């Protein structure tokens, strides 16, 4: 059984897709051992609780410095003894030490077809605003391994999504989630859990 730790910052619809896929058997040989959020009061925590999954908050606000936060975060991560760490909308820069300790064991979902609309400053709705601004007709989502760059690690899976005339950033975000993110993130976890 692959021990999966999911890290979140907000609504947690990707977390929900992972939970649902474990329940339906679309993900096998994996269990979600915990959820870490950097924010208090977010829906992700409720989703974890409803699924009976251990969840906690490690917030930078509770630490005197970034270095102390990084240490606290890594200690919490280690406490779950994860085989795989899934960044499911975790909008915090991962401490270098954590990337070293979990090399090739951290994956991230990004809401564009990397290498488009990724890197520093491209997260959440901003990615879709940029895609609409550029006028691309296709966008999508990418699951990739996390290395020390921003969105630069090896790509595991991608799925394209059509941009429609008149899309707002929110509409596009929703379609990318439904048609791509909620499918490829669970699929990538299943792939890793089963050495596919």
Active site residues: 110
Confirm or reject binding of residue 186 to ligand GAR (CB under 6 A).
no
* Residue 181 makes contact with ligand GAR by CB under 6 A: yes
How does DSSP assign the chain, residue by residue? -EEEEEEESS--HHHHHHHHHHHHTSS-SEEEEEEEESSTT-HHHHHHHHTT--EEE--GGGSSSHHHHHHHHHHHHHHT--SEEEESS--SPPPHHHHHHTTT-EEEEESS-TTSS-STT--THHHHHHHHHHT-SEEEEEEEE--SSSS-SPEEEEEEEEPPTT--HHHHHHHHIIIIIHHHHHHHHHHHHTT-
Least Cβ distance, residue 87 to ligand GAR (angstroms): 7
Compare residues 118 and 192 and give the one whose CB is closer to ligand GAR: 118
Using CB under 6 A, which of 72, 124, 155, 191 touches ligand GAR?
A: 124
Closer Cβ to ligand GAR, 63 or 123, answer by number:
123
The single residue among 14, 37, 139, 190 that binds ligand GAR, judged by CB under 6 A, is 14
Contact between 88 and ligand GAR (CB under 6 A)?
yes
33 binds ligand GAR, rule: CB under 6 A: no
User: Does residue number 153 form part of the binding site for ligand GAR (CB under 6 A)?
Assistant: no
Could you tell me which residues are beta bridge partners of residue 35?
6, 55
Using CB under 6 A, pick the residue from 2, 13, 47, 186 that binds ligand GAR.
Answer: 13
Q: Give the total of residues touching ligand GAR (CB under 6 A).
A: 16
- Contact residues for 126 (Cβ-Cβ < 8 A; gap 6+): none
Query: Which is closer to ligand GAR, CB of 127 or CB of 188?
Result: 127
Separation between Cα atoms, residue 140 and residue 162, nearest integer Å:
8
Out of 92, 109, 156, 188, the only residue in the binding site for ligand GAR (CB under 6 A) is 109
If the CB atoms of residues 94 and 109 are measured against ligand GAR, the closer one turns out to be: 109
**Which residue ranges make up the site for ligand GAR (CB under 6 A)?**
8, 10-14, 88-89, 109-111, 123-124, 127, 177, 181
């Amino acid at each position: 059984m692959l021990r999966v730790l999911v890290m979140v910052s907000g609504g947690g619809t990707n977390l929900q897709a992972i939970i649902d896929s474990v329940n339906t058997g679309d993900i096998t040989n994996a269990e979600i051992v915990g959820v870490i959020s950097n924010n208090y009061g977010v829906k992700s925590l409720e989703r974890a609780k409803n699924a009976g999954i251990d969840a906690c908050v490690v917030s930078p606000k509770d630490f005197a410095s970034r270095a102390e936060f990084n240490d606290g975060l890594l200690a919490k991560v280690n406490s779950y003894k994860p085989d795989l760490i899934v960044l499911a909308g975790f909008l915090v820069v991962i401490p270098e030490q954590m990337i070293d300790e979990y090399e090739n064991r951290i994956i991230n979902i990004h809401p564009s077809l990397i290498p488009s609309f990724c890197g520093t400053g491209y997260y959440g709705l901003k990615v879709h605003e940029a895609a609409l601004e550029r006028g691309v007709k296709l966008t999508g989502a990418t699951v990739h391994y996390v290395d020390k760059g921003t969105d630069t690690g090896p790509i595991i899976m991608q799925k394209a999504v059509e941009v429609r005339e008149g899309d707002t950033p929110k509409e596009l975000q929703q379609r990318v989630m439904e048609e791509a993110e909620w499918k490829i993130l669970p699929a990538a976890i299943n792939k890793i859990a089963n050495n596919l």
